Structures are given as C-alpha cells and as structure tokens.
Amino acid sequence: MSTFSAPKGTYDLIPPDSAEFLAVREALAAPLLRAGYGYVETPGFEQAELFSRGVGESTDIVTKEMYTLTTKGGDQLALRPEGTASVLRAALQRNLHRSALPVKLWYSGSYYRYERPQAGRYRHFSQVGAEALGAEDPVLDAELIILADDAYRSLGLREFRILLNSLGDKECRPVYRAALQEYLRRLDLDEDTRRRIEINPLRVLDDKRDSVQRQLADAPLMRDHLCEACKAYHEQVRELLGAAGVAFEDDPRLVRGLDYYTRTTFEFVHDGLGSQSAVGGGGRYDGLSEMLGGPELPSVGWALGVDRTVLALRAEGVRLDLAPGPRVYAVPLGEEARRVLFGVVTELRREGIAADFAFGGKGLKNAMKSANRSGARCALVLGERDLAEGLVQVKDLESGEQSPVPLDRVVTAVRAKVG
C-alpha cells in the first residue's frame, strides 16, 4: 500500500465505476454535438482576477472556495472553480466573436472548490458545459434547456425537476436591487451577510441557512419588478419549453450562486440527492463579456455535474448499458504460441473486436479462470500441438463447447461468433 492518498474531498475514478462516469459524459455531450456545438478545452488554472471579476467578488466561490497560488513570477493564479469565465475568455482571446454568431461551444473537465466534503459535493468535481455566445434570443435559451433535458432523459433519469426564473436586466434589476436592499437591511443578519447586502443583495436570497431563510419569507421578488421587455422575453422561453414538451416549475426565488446571470436562470434538481439536490444549471449572462474587458456579447449557457448525475442515476436505480469488456480472451501455452496468438489478438482488435490476452505466462487453469472473469464470450487456446497442426481451439465460454479452427481462418470465425 502507498503512503500517499488522494487529497481530502477528492476521489479517484477507477474501473468499473469509471465506465459509468464516461458513459454519463458522452450522453450529456451527445445532444450538443447534434445541435452544432464545437468542443473547447481551457487550462486547469487561470488568472485569479478572471473569476473575481466574472463570478463575483461577493460570492462564496471567490471569497471562500477558490484555490489560489502565486507563481515565482508573482502572478496570482487560481484553479478554475467553474467553466463559463474560462470559455468566454478563450473565445475573446481567439476572436471567435468576430465570426458568425452565435458561437456555440461545449466543454468537459475537472473543477475545484474548497468546500466541506459531503455526499454529492467534492473539492474536485467533473462537469459537462455548453455556452452559446453572441445572441440575445429566447430560442437559444430554450434550446440549451431542451438539450440538457434530452441528455438526462437519454440516460434514463425521470425524477429530476427544472426550476426556472428571470433575474431581469440592467434596466429593471437596479430597481429590484434597491427594494431588496431596503428589505434586507431591516433583518437580523450577521456582519458578513450585511456586507453582502451592499455588494450583491441577491446573494442573500441564495443563503441556505434556516435562520436566514425564515426571515426572507416576505422578501420582494424579481418577477414583480421585471420590465415589459424582460417579461416578454421570459414568457417566450416558457412558451418554447412548453411547446417542446419540457416540464418546468417557476421558482421566483431562484438566483443561483454566480453574479453574472441576467434574465433566464434555471436549475436541474433531483430530490433523491438530499440537501445537495442540484445536478446542473445555468442561465443568461449578457454583461459578462464587458466585465472581462470584451465587447457587448449577450450569451447563455449551462453546466451539468457528472458526479451529481451519477448519484442521481443510482438514486433512481438506473443501470446504464455500458460498453462491454473483451469479447475474446486469448490463452497461449508456450513461447511460440504467445507470439502467434498475440498477432491474432492484434488483428482482432484492428477488426473492431474487443480482445484480451493472458499475460505473464499463466498456466491453462489460471488463464481460463481469468478468461471467465473477464466476461468474454469465447477463448482462443493455442498449445504446441495445435500450433504444429495450424489450428486454434475456440471455446465458447457460455456453453463450454470447444472446436478447432484453422489458424488462418480464426479471425473470420471469431467475427461470425461474437459479432
């Protein structure tokens, strides 16, 4: 056993669990590929200011959860706590916004937040995300929500809910902000929360503490302060989702944990996960580009948690149809047989047939035990006598039947047997 272990709050993905995570990532990405989203990959760390500007200086992510470091040259860097700011930075740096809009991108990777480890919340976690940059269009908002809904349903998830809200825009949000601040200043809150009221009062609505939530029962709601343009925009999103058969719940208190959201905001929750019920979410962020020093670039996106989605699948008892293991297991007996049979295995693999090999010079008994444990459909056994006769013994591991096949026809015979 090694003297080292994974850092607290992180995990290693190893077989067989890793196959489930890979299948989830592929399923979440599949609808995006069909809708014309191109893949983007960004560094695991960025300038810390990218997140303090974009995510928000008053957020828990920046003030409490971000992993930061100082380079030998004095640069302040941070492990990425979320994906949107990095993707937008990359798009602006490479001038993608000067091409046809919207620019539609998707990504997959690991993210890092210093949180209290618990079921469904880790300090290292995996997400699949999508961003549509450069268009203010309710159809685009609806498209992304529908694509996420399709992805979850393709996995077999049924017990998730979609929460939907509008956070207004630069015209109506200031009026609501002032009304909310006036209400919050009258409450019995701690000093940190009172400071948050002055920086971004919407963050207080996202406070999960019961002592705070009880005092927010009569807090003003954004929906009562939306301007006519935001009302019309939000209604179009709702109508498009309804026409597509996507069920959702209006949640006037939904604000999510990031400062950059405007207008459409949504969250996917699964009640089988307890207090950490969110499996994904996102929204529109029309002013983020300008916050990062870029041009006006209205955008919308989401991120779906791979870890949370796996937990949701397990909560519903959904078993994925995972990629099978080897269909063929090769058992050589003797050095010359090892050389010849390894060549057969290589050819099978090139023909698209999953095949494995009894490495390490195992005897027949131990090699056949490995073959049975592998889940293979058939075994290829080659000994000295078979080699002299130009034959390979093909054994059906389900029925136990065994028959000799000419060595030069074994690939064809195996393909016919296992498909």
Q: Chain-centre distance of CA 301, in angstroms?
A: 13
- Of 46, 19, 31, the C-alpha closest to 144 is 31
> Is 127 annotated among the ligand-binding residues?
yes
Cβ–Cβ under 8 Å, residues 163 and 47: no
For residues 299 and 136, what is the distance between their CA atoms, to the nearest angstrom? Answer: 7
> Is 261 annotated among the ligand-binding residues?
yes
> Is 161 annotated among the ligand-binding residues?
no
> Is 361 annotated among the ligand-binding residues?
no
Distances (CA, A) of 369 to 331, 348, 373, 397: 11, 22, 6, 11
For residues 378 and 402, what is the distance between their CA atoms, to the nearest angstrom? Answer: 9
> Is 267 annotated among the ligand-binding residues?
no
> Is 131 annotated among the ligand-binding residues?
yes
Torsions phi, psi of 14, nearest 5?
-130, 160
- Of 140, 103, 128, 130, the C-alpha closest to 27 is 128
Torsions phi, psi of 89, nearest 5?
-60, -45
Which runs of E-coded beta strand occur in 92-159? 103-112, 124-133
Secondary structure of 247-283 as H, E, C letters:
CCEECCCCCCCCCCCEEEEEEEEEHHHCCCCEEEEEE
Reduced to 3 states (helix: H, G, I; strand: E, B; else coil), residue 380 is: strand
For residues 311 and 270, what is the distance between their CA atoms, to the nearest angstrom? Answer: 10
For residues 99 and 284, what is the distance between their CA atoms, to the nearest angstrom? Answer: 21
Reduced to 3 states (helix: H, G, I; strand: E, B; else coil), residue 207 is: coil
> Is 236 annotated among the ligand-binding residues?
no
> Is 70 annotated among the ligand-binding residues?
no
Q: Which two tokens stand for residue 347?
A: 């050819």
Which residue type does 291 have? M
> Is 264 annotated among the ligand-binding residues?
no
Q: Exposed (0-12), middle (13-18) or buried (19+): which is 335, by Cβ within 10 Å?
A: exposed
CA R_g for the chain: 27
For residues 60 and 58, what is the distance between their CA atoms, to the nearest angstrom? Answer: 7
Which residue type does 39 have? Y
Q: Exposed (0-12), middle (13-18) or buried (19+): which is 403, by Cβ within 10 Å?
A: exposed
Q: Residues at the annotated binding site for L-histidine?
A: 82-84, 113, 127, 131, 256, 260-261
Binding site, annotated residues: 82-84, 113, 127, 131, 256, 260-261
